[in-house]
A and B are shown apart, each in its own frame.
Chain A
């Protein structure tokens, strides 16, 4: 069971990760921030139910997944769909590739790649996108993804395989 004093630490540790997953899932910073707050509020209200059977990260991610699902189902989603052009757009995220000691040409190439992958991920189905992000952004193992999403491992593999194929085709990363 989580103690109240521990909860501040939980927020400090896991907020960036939950926000990252929500932002990558929904493509909107404001919605991601609101849902991050909702996620920690739900976790706080249900802290007595946390038995430690799964890791805290898995538990929080599961709450975040449910929030994404509810958000996509709600009527607010239609409003978000209409205004998503004014939200975090593709150019913005491709501009935020961290600067490293690379040449200008390589940096441009990186931005282009990120832009293409972001666009391809955005076109995935909900399950495919969820599994893809959990695997390659949150770097979860397949068994962790299965536990978090409630799917069996074969289904996770199936979604991941299809997601990878689609992203590879659309992002033009076929040359391996």
Chain B
């Protein structure tokens, strides 16, 4: 049953079958007319030429491909060797640079320390006296006394 249905689906009938039959007749007629003449002895010569040309093209293509690959290798060889040297140089030069940086950092810190520990400039001289006074009072009367005296000094300064 199923195979009958399949056969019907794959086998045209009626007007459609006639159309396909006419199509086949037309194609066969054209092909028959085109191939009515018997072939000559050199009928396959053009095909041989095409075949040779195709082989030549393939050979030429392979040769060009290899040549391009070789050129590419030669051209990119410096790119493969150069980074190695650059990396070595980089490794060599990185250490001194780091050392110089560390040295310059420590020098800078020393300079900062020196500048901070320099004597107070003249316009700020009273403040320096106050600081020295504060340090003496801390030594004598403790933290709470120091806090009070600082407040008093500030009040005095504000009043002035």
Q: Which residues of A contact B24 (CB under 8 A)?
A: 136-137, 139
Residue of A with least CB distance to B50:
A38
Does B16 have its Cβ within 8 Å of any Cβ on chain A? yes
- B7-15, B74-82, B108-116: which lies at the interface: B7-15
Does A11 have its Cβ within 8 Å of any Cβ on chain B? yes
5 A-B pairs within 8 Å (CB atoms) are namely: A29-B30, A94-B26, A117-B19, A118-B23, A164-B10
Q: Name A's B-contacting residues (CB within 8 A).
A: 11-12, 15-17, 19-20, 23-24, 29, 32-34, 37-38, 40-41, 44, 88, 93-94, 96-98, 110, 113-114, 116-118, 121, 136-137, 139, 142, 157, 160-161, 164, 167-168, 171, 173-176
Contact string against A for B residues 47-65, beta-carbon threshold 8 Å, 1 for contact and 0 otherwise: 1101100000000000000
User: For the complex, what is the distance from the CA of A86 to the CA of B32, rounded to whole Å?
Assistant: 21
* Chain A CB within 10 A, most for which of B12, B15, B19: B19
Q: Which residues of B contact A17 (CB under 8 A)?
A: 31
Q: Which residues of A contact B125 (CB under 8 A)?
A: none
Least CB distance from A12 to B in Å reads: 7
Residue of B with least CB distance to A8:
B39
Majority-rule SS of B interface residues: helix
Q: Are B10 and A23 in contact (CB under 8 A)?
A: no
Residue of A with least CB distance to B28:
A20
Q: Are B26 and A97 in contact (CB under 8 A)?
A: yes
User: For the complex, what is the distance from the CA of A110 to the CA of B28, rounded to whole Å?
Assistant: 15
Q: Which residues of B contact A23 (CB under 8 A)?
A: 27, 30-31, 34
User: For the complex, what is the distance from the CA of A32 to the CA of B31, rounded to whole Å?
Assistant: 10
User: For the complex, what is the distance from the CA of A167 to the CA of B23, rounded to whole Å?
Assistant: 12
User: For the complex, what is the distance from the CA of A113 to the CA of B17, rounded to whole Å?
Assistant: 11
Q: Which residues of A contact B35 (CB under 8 A)?
A: 15-16, 19
Q: Are A137 and B28 in contact (CB under 8 A)?
A: yes
Q: Are B29 and A98 in contact (CB under 8 A)?
A: yes
Q: Are B6 and A37 in contact (CB under 8 A)?
A: no
User: For the complex, what is the distance from the CA of A176 to the CA of B11, rounded to whole Å?
Assistant: 11
Q: Which residues of A contact B9 (CB under 8 A)?
A: 161, 164
Q: Do A96 and B30 contact each other (CB < 8 Å), given the known contacts A15-B39, A34-B47, A176-B14?
A: yes
User: For the complex, what is the distance from the CA of A75 to the CA of B40, rounded to whole Å?
Assistant: 30
Least CB distance from A80 to B in Å reads: 15
Does B44 have its Cβ within 8 Å of any Cβ on chain A? yes
User: For the complex, what is the distance from the CA of A116 to the CA of B22, rounded to whole Å?
Assistant: 11
Q: Which residues of A contact B34 (CB under 8 A)?
A: 19, 23, 29, 32-33
* From B10, B17, B39, contact of A157 by CB (8 A): B10
User: For the complex, what is the distance from the CA of A113 to the CA of B16, rounded to whole Å?
Assistant: 9
Q: Which residues of A contact B48 (CB under 8 A)?
A: 41
Q: Are A137 and B19 in contact (CB under 8 A)?
A: no
Q: Which residues of B contact A161 (CB under 8 A)?
A: 9-10
Residue of A with least CB distance to B12:
A164
* From A38, A44, A160, contact of B10 by CB (8 A): A160
Residue of A with least CB distance to B30:
A96
Q: Are A117 and B22 in contact (CB under 8 A)?
A: yes
Least CB distance from B127 to A in Å reads: 92
Q: Which residues of A contact B19 (CB under 8 A)?
A: 113-114, 116-117, 171, 173
